[in-house]
Amino acid sequence: MDGTTATLFQFVLRRALQAIPLLLGVVVVNFVIIHLAPGNPIDILVGDFPAPPEYVARLSRDFGLDRPLWEQLFLYFGRLVQGDLGFSFANRQPVLGVILDRLPATLLLSGTALVLAAVLGVALGVLSSRRPYSILDNFTSVLSLVGFSMPVFWLGQLLIMGFALELRWFPAQGMVSLRADPSGWGRMLSIAAHLILPALALSVRFLALNSRISRASMLEILRQEYIVTARAKGLSEGRIVYIHALRNSMLPIVTVIGFNFGFLLAGSALVETVFAWPGIGRLLYDSITSRDYPVIMGIFLAVCAGIIIVNLLTDIAYAYLDPRVKL
Amino acid sequence: MRSFARRFLRNLPAAAGAAWVLGMILVCALVPWLAASDPLRVGGDAFAPPGAAYWFGTDNQGRDIWSGILHGAQVSLAVGFLAAITSSSIGVAVGAAAGFHGGWVDSFLMRVTELFQIMPRFFLALIIISLFGAGIGKVIFVIGVLSWPPTARLIRAEFLTLKHRDFIEAARATGIGDLTLCFRQILPNAMAPAVVAGSLDIAQAILLEASLSFFGLGDPNLISWGTMLYNAQGYLRQGWWLSIFPGAAIFLAVLAFNLVGDGINEALNPRLRESQG
């Protein structure tokens, strides 16, 4: 192992250790909410759906609800470490399984939205940085203002009314048509058609963010000395912009996407609700309606863990990509 | 101050945002005269399109949407302002304490700030409201308590640079107490970024309240724009006006506060505008 790899490894290890107190903090917050909520903690652990009394009795024993609070926290933590997030009677399945079943749909939706936002956002940002205050640049600034202020669920409703109900270009709701071929290309095409509108709705905020950031960082980089040198060397303008400048202006985009992961998941929950997309967000909505508390708490823990992990990966990616970052 | 106002008003989008905010405040004060009918009253005409009788039409239960928009403005503005005041107060207190004290106080407070920053506000607010029950007071409290970390970081950074300036050292040399030094000498010089963050917080709070209401967690006794969209979700086929008007109201309100925030920021730092272009 050479020196750079060793320091990178140390950096990763140090950052991973720093994430542990955050994870513990989130668990404690969850525990405190369960105990502060009105009514008995057991109601929250079981949910509103009728559960057999034997299960309720076993649960109070497992969680030590008659013991001191610190012991309860310890037991609660022990169960989480084993991946036990409780049982959902509304879904007749362990909570972890319920969440994992819905994960692919959410990943497909938010992944598509991120790719869309990255490609279009960077393209808009770079093109408008080439000609500040041009028509395209003004369009980009207006778009970024709109993207920041538009409630994503209203945008979803507008897209449904315009492109699904009025023009009938795309389906309004769901993930796959019931008439579609249950396997193969028919199913894929049906999912793709269902995916376009929700992914578009979800991407707008990030498109706005990416175009703003990449425009600003391109403007900054194009003023730097090494670009002047490249120009002096007689390199073509296209080569300067797309090879030399763009590569370095990508760094802030990595950070922005990483640190806005929570927003992405929140947006996904709202968009899934509007489009009846069968992901974790729709599950959250249904669980709130049926007061299925174990699932709600489980989703919160899963989302927090996801955010902490993505932040960690962002830091590592940034350190890896930018040699100036001190490891 | 004069030149600040001039710079702010010369920025057309910011002036338009400020005008819209003032308009909303005025409308909220005049609701009893502008919207005579009770927005929650179930009427005879369901799905009446916008027209002379009902300016913005009626919903599935015949409720007047115009009246709902005006009453919803009161809810949105109350949540926006009160939540932003709550979060700014917490943020200023935490940031000032961390930046002024330094040492272990600073590290401890910054760890707490990090924890609050990492927890997704929307999901946490959803859990708390769904467990503790809906109500506008709880919504304001929850949004306020979950939105302070950016302000705390800004104020901390200002304190860190300000506390070693000569005029602070001079003030300290006169023998005034720490609290006086904090509040009378340092804080007034650190407020500018907090004011900008505060007006952007209002926009975010309005958006968050609407999102919670869209999940069906709005105050059941009040009409709010998010609740109207939650209701419209089931009737997109029957009437576009159920969704268009409340959605546009949220969008314009959030946009206005964002424009005002950006405008204040640019008026305080005139060089910002040039460096961006």
What's this model's pTM, rounded to 2 decimal places?
0.88
A209 inside domain: yes
A286 inside domain: no
Find the CATH number of the domain harbouring A260: 1.10.3720.10
pLDDT interval class at B274 (50, 70, 90): very low
* Residues of chain B contacting A288 with CB distance shorter than 8 Å: 126, 130, 215-217
A74 inside domain: no
A19 inside domain: no
For residues B87 and A34, the model is more confident at B87
Number of folded domains in chain B?
1
Distance (Å, whole) CA B216 – CA B234: 13
- Residue B17 in tokens: 């945002």
For residues B44 and A223, the model is more confident at A223
A16 inside domain: no
- Residue B232 in tokens: 């419209």
Percentage of residues of chain B with pLDDT beyond 70: 96
* Residues of chain A contacting B237 with CB distance shorter than 8 Å: 165
Q: ipTM of this model?
A: 0.88
Which one-letter DSSP state was computed for residue B58? B
Which of the residues in chain A have pLDDT under 70?
1-4, 180-182, 323-327
Per DSSP, what are the bridge partners of residue B58? B64
Residue B142: Cβ within 10 Å count: 23
Identify which of A44, A161, A172 has the shortest CB distance to residue B131. Answer: A44
Identify whether the C-beta of residue A170 lies closer than 8 Å to the C-beta of residue A163: yes
Per the structure, the complete domain to which residue A117 belongs is given by 102-278+313-321
Identify whether the C-beta of residue A267 lies closer than 8 Å to the C-beta of residue A277: no
Q: Is the Cβ of A26 closer than 8 Å to some Cβ of chain B?
A: yes
B58 inside domain: no
Which tens digit of pLDDT belongs to each residue from B207-254? 999 999 999 888 888 889 999 999 989 888 888 888 999 999 999 999
Q: Is the Cβ of B122 closer than 8 Å to some Cβ of chain A?
A: yes
For residues B75 and A74, the model is more confident at B75
Residue A79, CA distances (Å) to A20, A71, A75, A304 in order: 17, 13, 6, 17
B106 inside domain: yes
A2 inside domain: no
Number of folded domains in chain A?
1
Per the structure, the complete domain to which residue B193 belongs is given by 2-31+65-276
Find the CATH number of the domain harbouring B219: 1.10.3720.10
* Residues of chain A contacting B236 with CB distance shorter than 8 Å: 157, 160-161, 165, 172
DSSP reduced 3-state for A107: helix
B53 inside domain: no
Q: What is the DSSP string of A215-284?
A: HHHHHHHHTSHHHHHHHHTT--HHHIIIIIIHHHHHHHHHHHHHHTHHHHHHHHHHHHHHHT--SHHHHH
B44 inside domain: no
Which amino acid type is present at position B243? Answer: S
What is the separation of C-alpha A283 from the centre of its chain, rounded to a whole number of angstroms? 15
Q: Is the pLDDT of residue B277 over 80?
A: no
Which tens digit of pLDDT belongs to each residue from A145-158? 888 899 999 999 99
A77 inside domain: no
Distance (Å, whole) CA A302 – CA B128: 16
